[in-house]
Amino acid sequence: MSSYGDLVESLIILGKENAKVTVVFANFFTLLQGFFLKRKPFRELLISTIANNEGKQLTLCFYADEVQPGNSLAVEQNRKLWCVYLSFVEFGPILLSREQSWLPVCCQRSNLANALPGGVSQLAGIILESIFNSHKADPEALGVQLQDPSKKLHRLRFRLGAFLADGSAHKYLFSVKGDSGTRRCILCQNVVAHGQEADLARLTSLVCKEQDLILTSDEDFDKSRVRMLQKHEELNKTDFGLWQQASGITYNPDAMIFSPSLARLVKPISQWLHDWMHCFFQKGIWLLGL
């Protein structure tokens, strides 16, 4: 479990109020090699997936969620964790619905993740940096060499393709305001609040049909991000707050979407993948049906 360096890596970040925060995460390349060597079902699945994809890049799926272990009847907020798992879209929906198809790379206490200047978005950025901007391997162009028990080498190439999360996690990951912004959906350009009063929390939209939506592209979001950086330099604090409210994006220089080294990788629009379970089971269709 040291093919690409130590399995467990740590990084010390200067957090809020100048407190040092230690971020601990798994070396994804070493983790992949370990699973590939020791777990035959995972090895056969990955080899067949690479073959079926004819050697093309696989699509890495980044899944993040906040979990609360322990007794659900005795809630302890200080036990919350942000957990990050990685897998490949090409495994298919049936296998991806099984926990064994996902590789856990990080479990960080929520209070430590929140202590980072960029919060969980910065945590996600650190993990992505360790994979796609690493000196250990180049997963996109050259690929990662994986050795099986017979010493045969297999080349795995992959790109970042999706962020699987619920609405709250997407909000933190992509630094979007959601319902608290005038533009409450970054995927659509014309889903905005109309007739909003300062003392009312309800946001309404005049758009009710899918065909009336003006969908956002990755290029549109990138332009919004660049304008946000420009306005941060031009406007005073009050006016810049209104700009963030109108655009539906929260500016944080340490957040993932504002990292220059991740700009080519992170595409919130095309990589937005909502966790359908929340739509159906958690305060959703299933409960209404009952």
Task: Say if CB 256 and CB 121 are below 8 A apart.
Answer: yes
Q: What angle do CA 282, 179, 96 make, to 5 degrees?
A: 40
3-state secondary structure of 78: helix
Q: What angle do CA 36, 37, 39 make, to 5 degrees?
A: 70
According to the model, what pLDDT value does residue 290 have? 59
According to the model, what pLDDT value does residue 145 have? 94
Task: Say if CB 118 and CB 254 are below 8 A apart.
Answer: yes
Which string of DSSP letters, residue by residue, matches 162-225?
EEEE-HHHHHHHHTB-GGGSSB--TTBSS-B--S--TT------S--SGGG--B--HHHHHHHH
Q: Of 234, 266, 229, nearest to 249 (Cα)?
A: 229
3-state secondary structure of 24: strand
According to the model, what pLDDT value does residue 158 have? 96
According to the model, what pLDDT value does residue 184 have? 79
C-alpha neighbours within 13 Å on the C-beta side of residue 42: 20
Strands (DSSP E) along the chain, which ranges? 8-14, 20-26, 58-67, 81-88, 103-109, 144-147, 153-156, 158-165, 272-274
According to the model, what pLDDT value does residue 236 have? 95
Q: Where are the domains of the chain?
A: 8-175+252-289, 183-250
Query: Is the Cα dihedral 74, 75, 81, 83 positive or negative?
Result: positive
Helix (H) / strand (E) element for 38: namely helix 28-38
3-state secondary structure of 25: strand
According to the model, what pLDDT value does residue 203 have? 55
pLDDT tens track of the chain, all 290 residues? Answer: 788 999 999 999 998 888 899 999 999 999 999 999 999 999 999 999 999 998 799 999 999 998 888 776 776 777 889 999 999 999 999 999 898 899 999 999 999 999 999 999 999 999 999 999 999 999 999 999 999 999 999 999 999 999 999 888 999 999 998 877 888 788 988 877 765 555 554 556 777 888 888 899 999 999 999 999 999 999 999 999 999 988 889 999 999 999 999 999 999 999 999 887 776 776 666 666 65
Measured in Å, how far apart are the chain's first and last C-alpha atoms?
48
DSSP secondary structure code for residue 57 in this structure: P
The encoded tokens of residue 138 equal 């180049």
The encoded tokens of residue 231 equal 């306005």
Residue 289: left (phi > 0), alpha (psi -120 to 50), or beta? alpha
